[in-house]
Structure formats: C-alpha cells, structure tokens
Amino acid sequence: MDFISVAQTAKMLGVSRVQVFRKIKQGKIKAQKVGRAYVVDKNSLGPIFEQTTDREVKLIDQAVAGTISEYGETLRRLGRE
C-alpha cells in the first residue's frame, strides 16, 4: 500500500484539508489513524475521480470560467501576495 498524508490528498484532489477530513468522517475516503494523524491509501482514491460525470465536469468548467471572468483581476492580485 502507498499511503499519503491528508495534506497530500487535499492537494491531489484540489480541495482543502478540512474537506478531506470531512470525507474521511463520512466514509468517502478510506483512511487509517496513525498516532494523531490520518494516512490515506493512495490506491483507494481512484473511485473518487471516477464518480465525476462528463456533465459535472462541464458544469465545473463553466463555473470556473465564470469566476475567472468575474473576479479575474482580484485573483491575479491575490496571486501576487
């Protein structure tokens, strides 16, 4: 098994660590507790990616494009900080 940290999982999925912890608590991401931390089996993440339909991807792309269109300058300025 190839284990990764919650932070690495969040980066791979493009979400926050808090969202990863929520998915662990909901049972959507399988994790094991090691001491005070959780580790995620990297191989168990496959089904998460497979759940996104083409329609959902299109909706996400549209939402991102709309956000960039509306807040593009603000996002660029934040990126410089």
Model confidence at 43: pLDDT above 90: no
pLDDT of amino acid 52 = 66
pLDDT of amino acid 26 = 92
Q: Are residues 24 and 55 in the same domain?
A: no
Model confidence at 49: pLDDT above 80: no
Confidence of residue 44 (pLDDT cuts 50, 70, 90): confident
Model confidence at 81: pLDDT above 80: no
Q: Are residues 45 and 15 in the same domain?
A: yes
Q: Are residues 8 and 26 in the same domain?
A: yes
Scan for tokens 């299109």, then name that residue: 58
Structure tokens at 21: 């912890």
User: Residue 29 contacts by C-beta under 8 Å, 6 or more apart in sequence?
Assistant: 9, 20, 23, 40, 44, 45, 48
The separation between CA 10 and the C-alpha centre of its own chain, rounded to angstroms, equals 5
pLDDT of amino acid 56 = 81
Residue 10 lies in domain: 1-50
Average pLDDT over residues 59-73: 91
Q: Are residues 15 and 29 in the same domain?
A: yes
Please give the tally of structural domains in the chain.
2
Q: Are residues 25 and 59 in the same domain?
A: no
